[in-house]
Amino acid sequence: MNPLSIRAPAVTSVFLLALLSSGYVIRQSLAPPWNRITILYDAFGKSPTMTKDWGYSALVEYGGKRILFDTGNNPRIFAMNVKAAGVDLKQLDFVVISHRHLDHTAGINHLLSVNPGVKIYAPKEAFGVFGGSMSSKFYRQQDSLPQEMRYFDGHPAETLASGTPWPAGKFQTVDSTVEVAPGVHLISLVSETPGTRELRELSMAIETPRGMIVVAGCSHPGIEKIVAAASRIDQQVHIVFGGLHLPAATDQEVDRIADALYRQHRVMRVAPGHCTGEPAFYRFKKIWKNQYTYAGVGSVIGLP
């Protein structure tokens, strides 16, 4: 027997693992089941087949689950990037929309045209864009007004339903930390930052043998709070993906947050993207060194 034929599978495995760790591979070369994340939408990247635009979307494949996280800023670009990555949106277990901003939701129409019955987890907000309802008792009533001046002639329904731009969407809204599949958690937090105050955002945390995988859309509530919430599920956070919302932060603030993630929360790896900001990319790279993972659009990154 040719000894090279014995070594070939091992050599192939090493080669594929090297490609995964580099953050960019041709998706079709990977046979399932692989644990990986594919960046489908962002404003930076080195893939010649993907279009750059401001926004975020990623396909997370872990433990046999295929989860789409956000849908980018432009439905046409989202559709093109999905096709270029070889992703089949019909084959999804569920979708997570981090928050209502357009650069994370614009591709929902395309998603629903391909997979109209897919379950979509989204933040629960009073009269939010993802639909829902709230008690009609949110407003005070004045019985002495004539009927024509009263809401619903003075006889409102017990609950008032809110509309949505995607009435066909199968939305399930979330306002707490919940396990939506074995080992897959959604973390619901509310922003206290001026400009996005009261904005509810979902992040995803996945349990792995090496610690939590955290995927954040924009981190409007603060990446420290998101990581702290994930740490309450599993103290070890292995890697953080996505937007950390530091594009205009001072160097001092970026350093403070990086230090908190690295020293206090002991985050092992970072793969920042979207609204993290170029100065934060630079400073995080200096701190995490070879544990900094490049995650531009088109990257396919292996997960533990």
Answer for the pair 265, 295: CB distance below 8 angstroms, yes or no: no
What type of residue is 82? V
Question: Which residue's entry shows tokens 């309802």?
Answer: 133
Q: Which residue has the tokens 């793969």?
A: 271
What ranges do the domains of the chain cover?
28-130+166-302, 131-165
- 11 Cβ neighbours under 8 A, 6+ residues apart: none
What pLDDT was estimated at residue 33?
60
pTM: 0.88
Within a 13 Å sphere around the CA of 297, how many CA atoms are in the beta-carbon half?
Answer: 25
Which stretches of the chain drop beneath a pLDDT of 50?
Answer: 1-32
What is the architecture of the domain spanning 28-130+166-302?
A: 4-Layer Sandwich (3.60)
Q: Look-up: residue for tokens 């205009």?
A: 248
Whether the link from the prior residue into 146 is cis, omega within 30° of 0, is: no
**Count of beta carbons in the 10 Å neighbourhood of residue 15:** 11
Q: Which residues contact 54 (CB under 8 A, 6 or more apart)?
A: 43, 73, 103, 274
Give the per-residue pLDDT at 10. 43
Is the preceding peptide bond at 247 cis, omega within 30 degrees of 0?
no
Placement of tokens 């919302």 in the chain: 245
pLDDT score, position 227: 98
DSSP 116: T
